[in-house]
Amino acid sequence: MTMEVGAMFRHELTGSFSEGSDANPTVAMVEASYRASGLHFRYVNCEVRPDQLGDAVAGARAMNWKGFNCSIPHKVEVIKHLDGLGESAAVIGAVNCAVNRDGKFIGENTDGKGFLMSFMEVADPKGKAVVLLGAGGAARAIAVELALAGASKFYVVNRGTSRGEELTKLLNDKTNAKAEFVEWSNTYAIPTDAEVLINATSMGMAGASELQDIDFTSIRKGMLVADVIVNPPHTPFLQKAEEQGAVTLQGLGMVVNQAVISIKYWTGKDVDPSALRDELIRVL
C-alpha cells in the first residue's frame, strides 16, 4: 500500500466501547486484518462504564475516529449520542457499529447480518420456527435479520418481561413473522414445532458458571442450535446440544462476519475473512 510520507506517523482510529472489555477478542482479529490488508488503521479496546458513554463518543468525535463498535451494555443507550441510524439499526433499535460519515457518527448494526451470513452456510431460515433465548441487543438484531430473511415464527424466551414483550411486539409489528413471548421463570422445554434454538444471552462466557435453564432433553436430533458466545468457541450449551444429536453453530462465524462488515464500513475495503478467523482461533 502506498502512503504519503506525512501520513506515516498517524493511524486512522477505530475501536470498541464496552464494559468487561478484557474478554473481548475483537481487537486481535481486526488488528490482524488491518496488517494483512496493509491498512494504516488501529483498533483500540476501551473499558467504558455506562456513565462514561457520552464522553467516550465525544472523545472519538474529537479525535476523528473512523468509527467504533459498541458491545454490552451500550448497544441501545449509545443511540442518543449518535447523529443518525442506518435502516436495520433503526428497526432493531440497537447499534453495535458506529461509522464516521462526513464527520457524523451513524449507527449501524452488524450483529444480525453477521449471524445471518453464518446461519445461511448451514440452513435457510425461510419458514423456520425459532426459539430465541434472550431479548437484548444481539437477540433483537438476530431476530430481525432472520425474520427479514423469511423465518416464520419466534418464541422469545427472556427473564425480563418488558424487554421480551418489546422484542415480540417489534417482530409482530415490523416483520411478517409471528412472535410469542415466554417468561423464563423456570426450566424451559423446547416446543415440538421449533427447528432452531439460539442462545443470545451472555450465559456460557469464559469464567461464567451459569448454564441456560432449559430442558436439554427436549432438543431433538437434527435441530440447529446456535450460540452467540465466542469465548469459549465451543460452549457448554453447544456441547450439551450435540449430546442430543443437534447440528451446532458456533459464535465464531458471526463475530468474524460482523467484523468484516464493520471494516468495510470504516475503511471502504473488502477484507479476507480468513485472517480474522485464524487470529481469533489463535487467541482463543
Catalytic residue, candidates 66, 75, 113, 240: 75
Q: Which three cell numbers stand for residue 150?
A: 423469511
Q: Is 75 a catalytic residue?
A: yes
Query: In the chain, helix, strand, coil percent, each to 5?
Result: 40, 20, 40
The rounded distance, in Å, linking the Cα atoms of 218 and 187 is: 11
**Do 168 and 143 contact (CB within 8 A), yes or no?**
no
DSSP state for residue 209 in the 8-state scheme: -
CA 194 distance to own-chain centroid:
22
Please give the order of strands across the beta sheet that includes 224-227: 178-183, 153-158, 129-133, 196-199, 224-227, 247-249
188-223 in b/e burial notation, b at 16+ Cβ within 10 A? Answer: bebeeebbbbbbbbbbbbeeeeeebebebebbeeeb
| CA neighbor of 17 nearest in space, from 130, 128, 107 | 107
Q: Which three cell numbers stand for residue 194?
A: 421449533
- Active site positions, annotated: 75
